[in-house]
Amino acid sequence: MTEAGEPIPSAEAVPTEAPVADPYHRGGQTDEARPPKKLWKRALGWSKWLVSAALIAWVLTRTDLGAIGKALKAVDPRYIAGAFGLIPLGLVIGAFRWRWLLAANGVRASIPFLIGSGCVASFVRLFLPSTIGGDAVRVYDSWRAGASKSLAVATIGVDRLLGLFALALLASGAMAFNPRVSSIPMARWVALAAAGGMLVVIGWIFFVGPRAPAWVLSVWRIGPAPLRRPFEKLFAALGTFHGKHGALASVFALGVLLQLNVVAFYWLIARGLGLEISFVQMLAAAPIAVFVMLIPITINGIGLREGIWIVLLGAYGFSEADAVALSWIELGLFVLFGLIGGVVYAARK
């Protein structure tokens, strides 16, 4: 039995694909003869490394390294320890959200099992070229807990979307009362567009369901098929939660709490650096930073993280050195927690 209370599938029971011939060597083809799609993916991966390198170079050329070091040396460890403690707290909140989404479709999973999975996801995320790469672990563990493959994907997708929706609403609301951040070029529009997009998704889950009305489908089919198919699969999966209004409302409420925990995390780091910034001011800045770091054009947000904090804290009059110091402390804390997740991963059977 797993910690989730469900039997672990045996090696024979794990779904596998039927063996097929390697399509890239069929008929004597070599690596040079691989389809453009494979080469495109490889080029995309390298481009992320290049973008990260370029952004880091840009940050370091305009920032005094001595000032960054001075800011890091003067940090108050009590605030940093408090910020680090909020990481596992967020993991616990996320575990309850995850459990409620699974339970809405009849899948039982224990909180210790889901917390352990979250720890492993934080470890795996360190090595994948995206800040959300650890979601693959959570999808797999949803399946281990008894969900079908489609339900496992839908569960993590809805969990992520509801969290982003809460983040977008917090950012939009905070910027309405904070003209300094809302004056940053495109910041207000990015937050409003994100909130609008999330409203569309939430509306689909609550009111449309797995099968869209005929008039929606007729309009939808006007678009090119290659662009439609991924979204059709996504919305079909989201339809799994149609009618689960109570569970979704509870998950969304916890999502707001979780995002406030994220804001508190950054606020404590800023206070540890001696920055006189209020919680409300950080509430207007942190959600934008999180959104930007989710853009999949760099490796784990490296470069984007430093750049966006330079812009956001600069709006409050703080130096570039303070912004870079905050971003590096944040990254260091997540790496430290990820290494703890590595210990959990090593202990898993």
- Type of residue found at 77: P
For residue 103, how far is the Cα from the chain centroid? 22
| b/e map 186-208, b = 16+ CB within 10 Å | ebbebbeebbeebeebbebbeeb
Give residue 94's pLDDT. Answer: 93
- The whole-number pLDDT of residue 57 equals 74
DSSP string spanning 197-224? HHHHHHHIIIII-SS--HHHHHHHTTS-
Which residue ranges make up each domain of the chain? 46-347
Give CA separation, 150 vs 137, 157, 159, 237, 284, in Å.
15, 10, 14, 7, 36
Element (DSSP H or E) covering residue 275: none
Among 266, 274, 265, 272, CA closest to 319: 274
Q: Give the start-end residues of each E strand in the chain.
A: none
- The predicted pLDDT at position 246 comes to 81
CB atoms under 10 Å from CB of 54, counted, come to 12
pLDDT truncated to tens, each residue of the chain (349 aa)?
Answer: 434 443 333 333 444 444 444 433 444 444 444 456 667 666 666 666 777 677 777 777 777 778 888 889 989 999 999 999 999 999 999 999 999 999 988 899 999 999 999 999 989 887 765 556 688 889 999 999 999 888 888 888 888 878 877 877 777 776 666 666 556 656 666 666 766 766 776 676 666 666 666 656 665 666 676 666 666 666 666 667 777 778 888 888 898 899 899 999 999 999 999 999 989 888 888 888 887 777 776 666 677 788 888 888 888 889 888 989 999 999 899 999 999 999 998 888 6
Contacts of range 126-131, beta carbons closer than 8 Å, 24 or more positions apart: 126/300, 126/335, 126/338, 128/300, 129/45, 129/48, 129/296, 129/298, 129/299, 129/300, 130/296, 130/300, 131/293, 131/294, 131/300, 131/301
Amino acid at 309: W
CA distance 4 to 17: 26
Residues contacting 111, CB < 8 A, separation 6+? 92, 95, 96, 99
Buried b / exposed e along 22-36 (16+ C-beta atoms within 10 A): eeeeeeeeeeeeeee
pLDDT at 312: 86
pTM: predicted TM-score of the whole model, two decimal places: 0.74
Rg (CA), the chain: 22
Q: By the 8 A CB rule, do 273 and 71 touch?
A: yes
Q: How many residues belong to the chain?
A: 349
DSSP state of 15: -
Cβ-based neighbour number of residue 344 at 10 Å: 16
Please give the pLDDT value at position 238: 65
Q: What is the 3-state secondary structure (H, E, C) of 311-338?
A: HHHHCCCCCHHHHHHHHHHHHHHHHHHH
